[in-house]
Amino acid sequence: MTQTELPKRTEPVRSVAIIGGGASGAIALDSLIKEGVFDKITVFERRDVLGGVWHLDENPDQLSVPPGAPESELDPPLEVPVQLLDDADIRSVNAPRSSQQRYIHTASFDGMRTNIPERIMTYSDDPHWEFLDRPGKDTFTSVKAVSRYIETYLARHPEHVVLRTTVEDISKDFNKPNSQYKLVLRTETDQKDENGDLIDKWWTESYDAVILANGHYHVPYITPVPGIDEVFKEFPGVITHAKTFRDHNVYKDKRVIVVGARASAIDIYRLISPITKEVYSSRRSPNLFVADPDGPNNQIKPVIDRYEVYEEDGKKSFRVVFEDGSVVTNPDEVIYGTGFRFSFPFLKRLIPDFSIGNIIPLAYQHTFYIPDPTLALVGVPIDGLSFRVFEYQAVLVARFFAGNAVLPPEEVQRQWTEERFSRFGNTRQYHSIGVDAALPYYDDLITIGGGVDPIGKPGSRPFPVLSVTDIETLKAERERLRKFFNDTSIQK
């Protein structure tokens, strides 16, 4: 899109589509409903279960993720039946199900826990998990408790949720201010054609506004370094991504390298370290977190410099060479906890550059698509207080769609994104809202939204208010994280 301002909508928003039935979709739905002005609100969840990334898939697809492969290569859009594109009058058509990998399984694993205190991670009107898995020790809980929490929250409005339905394409004439978004949807059925192939129903529906709440922990990314492609090809199953990690017991007596130092890499390292023969934690800073190894064969390593494949006694082998020159030869597995890439295949026709690697460059306050803010996002900020951050976003979006909040001029919004990019570039820190940044971010959204108190009809949702105890918990959490990561600049 160019920087030429598009005509803005003059008619009220009456219908909203929400893409994703996870934590951000749940709070977006409840916030919109409580505004009391929308005629149609629909959550489209592509799976047959709710919970988003917190749902535990016991048997996920075993992914083959080529190192350095971009999301455009791994997760391209499906070919939409031509009958449903653009101005076609046909509203539905049946077609055989595609076998393309869609990365629907989550990265959750048994033993995964929350890492933010209960009272500041949950939604403000439901501040308790179903249970704490270590009561008396902390207020964290298991992945299963969080998944049930989201399911229960969405169960408030079951008539607004459509399962097994993927948004495959979105189109809109941006030059017409009141035009709607046309969604091409694909609903999985259990029907089969004459060849025994499963059939999907493709259909269309239009909405005044769209909320992207589909998250960003789906398409994995493995950092490329010299030689890794050859190892990936010659030694299948050795180079893996943390997304498919499930059972730590399979690593008993194995030699493993875990790459990365964010949450998933830390969790995996600590789960497997007591039972592996050797485990190496490779990360940029040797002091990034206190590893507290449980055995003599656990070692901290710098980043991987290169891989080298060689032949010895007629058999191919490989070595992993780290930046300090140290070497690990023929590890059983190298697990990359190096994150994910944004992927919005359904927007590729409409906005090809909507996301670029680690960032959504035109998302004002991580929430509104600047050229047309009737396309909004909830759930983009990372490293923060999770559901509570999403709640602030959802309240603001609901107020804006209802006509009860006004965004600043487009030039101000673009300046915000330019300053953000100047500071963080195309890195995961661009969308990071950590503990220290949370309070000013909340204040910014409240200011844009017209204040804490409800503005619309009776029953509309206020912004959450942090109590003295909440703020004290925030400060304590900041210190806990700094100690855990051994990094005093964690949220500067």
For all residues of the chain together, what is the average pLDDT? 91
> Coil, strand, or helix at residue 319?
strand
What is the rounded CA–CA span in Å between residue 276 and residue 296? 11
Whose CA is closest to 52, among 244, 217, 188?
217
* pLDDT above 90 (res 159): yes
Query: What average pLDDT does range 57-62 have in this prediction?
Result: 90
Work out the percent of the chain whose per-residue pLDDT is above 70: 93
User: Is residue 154 within 8 Å of residue 161, measured between CB atoms?
Assistant: yes
- 429-451: per-residue pLDDT in tens? 999 987 778 889 999 999 999 99
Is the per-residue pLDDT at 488 higher than 50? no
Domain with CATH 3.50.50.60 in the chain: 15-219+341-485, 222-336
Instruction: Supply the pLDDT for residue 490.
Output: 38
State the virtual CA torsion across 235, 241, 246, 252 in degrees, nearest 10.
50
| Architecture in CATH for domain 15-219+341-485 | 3-Layer(bba) Sandwich (3.50)
Q: Tell me what pLDDT residue 487 has.
A: 46
- Whether 123 shows a pLDDT value over 50: the answer reads yes
Residue 55 reports pLDDT greater than 60: yes
Q: At what angle do helices 435-448 and 468-485 cross, to 10 degrees?
A: 140
| Band of residue 480 on the pLDDT scale cut at 50, 70, 90 | low
Mean pLDDT of 255-280: 91
The pTM of the full predicted model, rounded to 2 decimals, is: 0.94
Residue range 276-317, pLDDT digits in tens: 999 999 988 755 554 445 456 788 899 999 999 999 989 999
- Structure-block tokens of residue 423: 């500071």
Q: Give pLDDT, residue 78.
A: 96
Q: Which CATH number is 222-336 given?
A: 3.50.50.60
Least confident of 104-108, 328-332, 484-488: 484-488
Question: Quick one: pLDDT at residue 287?
Answer: 53
Distance CA 282, CA 321 (A): 11
